[in-house]
Chain A
Amino acid sequence: MIRFDNVYKRYPGGRDALQGVSFHLHAGAMAFLTGHSGAGKSTLLKLVALLEHATRGQLFLDGENLSQTSRRGIPYVRRKIGMIFQNYRLLFDRTVFDNVALPLVIAGYRHQDIGRRVRAALDKVGLLDRERALPITLSGGEQQRVGIARAVVNKPPLLLADEPTGNLDPELSRDIMHLFEQFNQVGVSVLIASHDLDLIATLPYTQLQLHHGRLVKSATGTDT
């Protein structure tokens, strides 16, 4: 699903965020991306979502070489990825329903399909009864579940999460991780950046550990 081939990323100013990173996340696999702050976790996710471009090396998403994607092609790459953020990034002037519907509206789904799919996604995250609520009236955990519903509503083959539990207490964090496991079980590839090591240790998934921009450890489900 994701393949990095000796990828380097240097930011303007000379900071090396990633140096010679190579790994392969298979389709249908789930993995955690760990490492200290500034180790390059976010940069790695940004490269996959084409928010940044690699300085050197090649990376592939679903077989597509991202270093050759044109500007016009970027939105279509992003539609293959469900992205989840630490600060949820919901639109606060719209209802839960409208927030979750956004990817479908963007992709030009028909009105009837949108209603059906949005309710299915909200049902999966347990918020079906809150579709008319505004995000501001929800708790942090609920907001993150809205964010997850939005990420999965158009059934992307890959979920990318950047510190999805960073603002949540341990119990809520476990619930959220459990949701990711459920999506993984139906075949969605999942890559989660997190420094919640206690929680990750309880879960049987691959860890990709970054240290100063270099990949230092990986285990089952991935090749380096």
Chain B
Amino acid sequence: MATKQTLDIDYTKYNFRDSDESYEYKFPQGLSREIVEKISQIKKEPDWMRQFRLRSYDHFMKRPLPAWGGDLTTLKFDEMLYYASPTEKKSRSWEEVPAYIKDTFDKLGIPEAERKFLGGVGAQYESEVVYHSLRDDLAKKGIIFKDTDTALRENPDIFKKYFATVVPPEDNKFAALNSAVWSGGSFIYVPPGVNVEVPLQAYFRINTQNMGQFERTLIIADENSRLHYIEGCTAPIYSTDSLHSAVVEIIARPGAHVRYTTIQNWSNDVYNLVTKRAYAHSNAIVEWVDGNLGSKLTMKYPSIYLLGPGARGEILSVAFAGKGQHQDAGGKVVHLAPRTTSRITSKSVSKDGGRTTYRGLLHVAKGATEVKSTVRCDALLLDEYSRTDTYPYNEINEDDATTTHEATVGKIGEDQLFYLMSRGLSEQEALSMIVMGFMEPFTKELPMEYAIELNRLIQLEMAGSVG
């Protein structure tokens, strides 16, 4: 029974290119102080933001590339475009989207409106009415949910109070880059005691530039509030941009509960280098649910700083690496206060020579007593060409911390396949079923439509029936 799979969504077929004429101002390739200033000027930003961008730019230029993680040496900063006007980005027409992609969307069962968005066609979202009524409902409760550029204009005080307080530009080279050229992303503020009952989803903002190259998301959940934010989608995101470097900051004030769910499936020439960090104050709960498919290289380690007593952090991350892909993912939890608890669960699947890495940090500071933490990483290798590594770093400075770490590497056995196939499932169906089962601890945390979509995607990837 052959276990070598042909999973290939050949993204190179879908390399869209906008015609250059459609941009109002043509930015040159590469990055300079002038470009950073120009971005700020076009956006009509206040001076402090202009200064912030320039400071970030300076840091980006002098900061070396990280020496660890994936291979970044092929990244060509000089050949990239760092800004394009969001209004002009919508100029591509649905007819230009290749049939292959439309077919993929069919197979995934992606709704029409979303397809246009994913295909890079910023058409009018048919459910705009739904979006507006939702927005009115949120507004009545004092919830702010808008794109980050708009928030900077319309909510300057709260914006300035929290922006870049969790991830300063000096944190790492890519945070600095994002800080210099950021555009788009979501801004959310939930007032004290407010429970946002429906998950807020990024694609409700489909008319705004939501999945930009350097998006910047800032979420503030005030005391005892509750929020679930969902971003992304399992369908491949077709993009000409070869670098995506987002920053996400979450502030969970005392007693707040924030869950942030992302599933991303970048085309496989993309470097996806994301900094995600949350502050959890006393008795707050922060959960990152993070799914990584696609991309050439992903380096992403959602982090939680447990700042106040009783705070809890959960990171649930899955990665799927196919041919030529490296998913370097994991999580970081920093326990800075007593009685804080955390759990990191990582699941990864590698096939066709794909590579997954778990990289995790567990830090327990002096004074953070009675800490409890569990870390579990499970890797599944679908063939002998694929690779997985685990790098757990533990810095425990209090004796009474209870920490556990468990790591497993599994292969799909011939006997398991035989068992499922003897019940009438084809080899691909059997493989898909085993992989879906392996992913189940992640999938069950997703809203149903996302779970179904993810499972469909796994089936498609295992079947190699696309492209």
A binds B: no
